[in-house]
Structure 1
Amino acid sequence: MGFVTLALALLSCAGLAAGLQPSSILLRPGEPDVFGPHPLVPPGAVPSRANRPLHNQGLVQVAYSDPATGVYLGSPSIARLNPDILLISHDFFPQYGKEKATEVLSSKAGGASWQPLALVPRIFWATLFVHRGAVYLLGTDDDAGANGVSMARSLDGGITWNQSVVLRPPPGCSFATGTVPVLLQGGFLYRSMEYWCGPTCSWPQGYIATLISAPAGGDADLLAPGAWRMARGVQFDGPSMLPAWMPAPVVSGGYLEGSAVRLPGGTGVGLLLRCRVYDAQSRTYTLQHACFFTLGPSPVLSDAPATRGAAGGGNSTVWHQGSGDGGMLRWQGFVDLPGGGNKFVCRWDPFTRRYLALTNPSIDRYGANPDARNILVLAHSPNLRDWRVATTLLVPHDGMPWEESLWKTGYQYADWIVDGDDIVASIRTAYDGANSFHDSNMITFKRIERYRKYLVDPVVEEEAAATA
């Protein structure tokens, strides 16, 4: 298995925080910490194109930004508020020094049409979820200095919002993240985050992965900073983490944008992360593997500087002091997951008793753009380790030659939930005139009808046929 050229050069984490990730440039005046519906159209949006059906495999356009404006749409997230209403959130990038925000939209038509509800300032890279009847956004804030973990709550279905910074990063560090799942497990809410320390860092090697958690009980105030704890952060440590089948010279790596998942058997919490490793020429080794940790109890905490701690399987990772005893992540190894090097969302599905993920497999590994995201698939696993592609959901459908589509079309950063017999997803989409696959000009919605039909186990099917 050879190396492939990394199409996107190493980026500065400071650059990501400063201008290469979602932000908003249009805000409504109001009280400092209470925000309501925004009467204006987000920058670059074209109202006449809203809810325009795309001739592209069942996609519905939720939001649009004209590529000529240089403002793009990112960080899609989706949740069901009640039996009648779906919600989608997204943000804008790049920021160019302007304040960031997240837009929230709703659909009373099963996803066929969408209406804006609110633009929530000073929160981005935010996960949208519903807990005990309230709607939440959980992401990072827009501080002039280091980014903290920010949370916004709406008690009226997403129209008005209260907001608080619930967790500050370690000194000299700043939080980063993507729209990843919020897991309810064992009476706690869990979500993955990353942070990086110092004036600059390389992407993704500079990221330190962690899990944050808070009690999920009825009397817990999730906007209270004291409610949240952070696990000891872990940073990629090549010499101790690389398996024998991954040949030298692998010299660096990193992980980010992890999915907090319940472990097989229903007890315990795991973290499945987007993962990449590189050689000395910054060439990526594989885009088809994720990195897997489990959460365990912490040893006695101290104020000592970062050091090395024991990890599962005899390996070790670099850990960093967190703010409170949120546990310790223990390395379990690489997982063969198609598209594990790109951002994905993994969830446990109790109906099929499998882990599901929407991923962008690297189907052009040795071609012009191994980072292409113009294919979206549904993958599944019984145990978090053995993954198979169930079906292909989206392929290029814009009339472009294949080589051009690798650079211009993107169905990426998909967030999804099970919705009755279907899966519904919000997708960061570059299509129909986008400047590049990365610079996405749309947020789209897709309903995957009767998804369970794609998850029939051939062995079970054969046994059923034999006994029929």
Structure 2
Amino acid sequence: MTRWILVFLLSALAVGVSVAQVAPESPPGRIIAHSAASTQIFLGSPSLAVLPDGTYIVSHDTFGPGSKEDQVSLFASRDKGVTWKSLGQVSGQYWSSIFVARGALYLFGTDRSMGTPVIRRSDNGGATWTTPLDTSTGRFPMPGRYVTAPVPVLVDHGRIWRSFEIAEGGDLREVVMSAPVDADLLDTTAWSSTTHLRSDRRWLNGDFLSWEEGNMVSTGQALPSVVMRVNSRQGQEKAALVSLNAGADALSFDPARDFVDMPGGGKKFTIRFDARTKLYWSLTNAVLQNNGHENLERVRNTLALISSPDLRHWTIRRVLMEHSDRQKHGFQYVDWQIEGNDIIAVIRMAFDDAQGGAQSQHNSNYISFMRFPDFRQTLMQRPAPAPG
């Protein structure tokens, strides 16, 4: 566990050096992209896929006053994440998950200018992409404004699954879309979607604000479930477990039993199942010390490795990164994959740079790649203390 800024300040004071004269710390990991805060272009929505030949592909978008907010940038690494090469940009694409199906690469998110889901395919490793012009080429005829993030795309029960939220009536309502694994994924008629599941501000004794950025996760026997990030006013961070009905055309949620305590559940997370340990794993912004007065949704300065046997009971296994400053440092929106004994991850990061650092912990200035080796060894160690 590292606390860069505290060590830096104490060292500077001890030798009588002005803080302004000391060079900023280098951000952790292999830097894929950087944008100075002065540009008002902030880096978001990282997503990671691994091609059949072992090439890593990363996508991200941008947000903020200087951004078009409707474009995805792509990068490739052919040396296990050591170096990265730009593959260019795709316009008319936002909040996108990148994934591999039957050897092809896909981007599945929204066209933010129109608010509708769109999906694209690349048959050459991300060098060129199809254009979603109509229902046969990846543009969904779904009215409304859809909201999402680079959430996991799951293959389960012979289908490909992805979650979205739709803004309706002042509410973010959950929707799950799926298609047969052998379908033409650009043919939108191959996809089906559930009815829209609404939320209720009266939940959690009136502290519930919204849910979003749902993870499709396999449950083994039944159809997949959705694990959703929960935004709330106060209290221990939680996630929401949403179920699919047998026909996969409707969703259900019981607020009396389906809110679960999850360290970091108030910020975006990715959950994946590991067949070797038979555990669900995630990298989250767990809040290790909660003074009861902070906005926990913006506490993103700690990255913790957590696991669960059942999606309901979560344990912090290891604190991977921590910074003592919560205002301008964050390790957030982590997307990741299991590769052998390691976790490979791409992180939306707010950290120091030579231009004065990030504008805030939310308005991130880096996209960084990191490898966390031997993650399963945490099962042989004493779990980290629960947040509180």
TM-score greater than 0.5 by the shorter chain: yes
Residues 40 and 66, structure 2, Cα contact 8 Å, conserved in 1: no
In the other structure, the counterpart of 1:372 is: 299
Evaluate the alpha carbon distance shift between residue 377 and residue 80 of structure 1 in structure 2; reply closer, same or farther with a 3 A threshold.
same
Residues 63 and 69, structure 2, Cα contact 8 Å, conserved in 1: no
- Whether 1:154 aligns to 2:110 is no
In the other structure, the counterpart of 2:246 is: 297
In the other structure, the counterpart of 2:4 is: none
How far the C-alpha of 1:372 sits from its partner, in A, is 1.3
Evaluate the alpha carbon distance shift between residue 276 and residue 97 of structure 1 in structure 2; reply closer, same or farther with a 3 A threshold.
closer
How far the C-alpha of 1:225 sits from its partner, in A, is 1.5
- Whether 1:256 aligns to 2:182 is no
| 1:394 counterpart (321, 333, 339) | 321
Question: What amino acid is the match of 1:350?
Answer: A
Question: What amino acid is the match of 1:259?
Answer: N
Deviation readout 1:328-354 (Å, 9 max, x if unpaired)? 111141111101111111111112110
Determine the C-alpha separation between the residues in 2 that align with 1:256 and 1:140.
15
Residues 343 and 413, structure 1, Cα contact 8 Å, conserved in 2: yes
Residues 269 and 283, structure 2, Cα contact 8 Å, conserved in 1: yes
Determine the C-alpha separation between the residues in 2 that align with 1:99 and 1:374.
25
Determine the C-alpha separation between the residues in 2 that align with 1:447 and 1:329.
36
- Whether 1:176 aligns to 2:152 is no
Residues 179 and 191, structure 2, Cα contact 8 Å, conserved in 1: yes
Determine the C-alpha separation between the residues in 2 that align with 1:128 and 1:348.
18
Trace 1:34-433 onto structure 2 (pairs within 5 A): 55-56=26-27, 58-94=28-64, 98=68, 100-143=70-113, 146-164=114-132, 165-170=138-143, 173-197=144-168, 201=170, 206-217=171-182, 220-238=183-201, 242=203, 248=205, 250=206, 252-263=208-219, 265-277=220-232, 284-286=233-235, 288-297=237-246, 326-332=248-254, 333-366=258-291, 367-370=293-296, 371-396=298-323, 402=324, 405-432=325-352, 433=357
Determine the C-alpha separation between the residues in 1 that align with 2:53 and 2:26.
28
* RMSD of aligned alpha carbons: 2.1
Residues 350 and 363, structure 2, Cα contact 8 Å, conserved in 1: yes
Determine the C-alpha separation between the residues in 2 that align with 1:226 and 1:392.
44
How far the C-alpha of 1:222 sits from its partner, in A, is 0.4
SS of structure 2 residue aligned to 1:454: helix
Deviation readout 1:396-453 (Å, 9 max, x if unpaired)? 1xxxxx3xx1110010000001011110001000001111111100000110111110
In the other structure, the counterpart of 1:465 is: none
Unaligned runs of 5+ in 2: 1-24, 133-137, 384-388
Deviation readout 1:34-88 (Å, 9 max, x if unpaired)? xxxxxxxxxxxxxxxxxxxx745x5111101111111011000001113431111
Evaluate the alpha carbon distance shift between residue 141 and residue 64 of structure 1 in structure 2; reply closer, same or farther with a 3 A threshold.
same
Determine the C-alpha separation between the residues in 1 that align with 2:351 and 2:276.
33
Evaluate the alpha carbon distance shift between residue 71 and residue 138 of structure 1 in structure 2; reply closer, same or farther with a 3 A threshold.
same
Displacement over 3 Å in runs of 4+: 95-99, 456-459
Aligned length: 345
Q: Percent identity?
A: 34
Determine the C-alpha separation between the residues in 1 that align with 2:82 and 2:41.
25
Determine the C-alpha separation between the residues in 2 that align with 1:457 and 1:395.
19
Deviation readout 1:11-30 (Å, 9 max, x if unpaired)? xxxxxxxxxxxxxxxxxxxx
How far the C-alpha of 1:257 sits from its partner, in A, is 0.2
Question: What is the TM-score when the length of structure 2 is the normalising length?
Answer: 0.84
Question: What amino acid is the match of 2:371?
Answer: R
Determine the C-alpha separation between the residues in 2 that align with 1:99 and 1:383.
37
Determine the C-alpha separation between the residues in 2 that align with 1:89 and 1:97.
16
In the other structure, the counterpart of 1:47 is: none
Unaligned runs of 5+ in 1: 1-53, 278-283, 299-325, 397-401, 460-468
